[in-house]
Amino acid sequence: MLLTAPVLFNSCSNDDDNGGDDNNNNNIGITVDLTSSEYAALKTVGGFAYKGDIIIIRSSDAVYIALSKLCTHSSCTVTYNSSTQEIPCPCHGSKFTKEGAVVNGPATSPLKKYDVKQNGNILTIS
């Protein structure tokens, strides 16, 4: 019996990359499939949805905004009011702009904002 298998197969350390052609390590973002019924609200300008600790707002036809959904006062989950284009917190009255800046306290710090990239029906938030 001959054991002639070359050791060449052992050289790859990217074991969790099944595709092989995607060596970019920037894929740490959260993805949102806009065709999913879970995100149906994002089909309408002014709609919003949550993914994990993030609130995603569709602010215009081609603009999506992603912010932390956790109020910086005491971590209640914020919502979005499309008519005022503000992000109110239901717990103690804080309000934020859709960019995350504080409008009304008691919160004093802005909501963390994330980068959103759209590719077809997929949003990548990082």
Contact call for residue 31 and ligand FES (CB under 6 A): no
Query: Rule CB under 6 A: which of 33-62 touch ligand FES?
Result: none
Q: Give the chain's radius of gyration (CA, Å).
A: 21
Shortest distance, position 91 Cβ to ligand FES, whole Å: 4
By CB under 6 A, residue 111 contacts ligand FES? no
Residue length of the chain: 126
Q: Is residue 8 classed as helix, strand or coil in its secondary structure?
A: helix
Is 109 an interacting residue with respect to ligand FES (CB under 6 A)?
no
Q: Strand, coil or helix: what is 57?
A: strand
Nearest to 73 by CA among 47, 104, 40, 42: 104
Structure tokens at 12: 């790859």
Q: Which residues pair with 102 in a beta bridge?
A: 96
CB of 103 to ligand FES, least distance (A): 12
94 binds ligand FES, rule: CB under 6 A: yes
Q: Does 73 bind ligand FES (CB under 6 A)?
A: yes
In whole angstroms, give the CA distance from residue 108 to residue 117.
28
Q: Residue 94 or 124: which CB sits closer to ligand FES?
A: 94
Q: Residues 46, 79, 91, 110: which binds ligand FES (CB under 6 A)?
A: 91
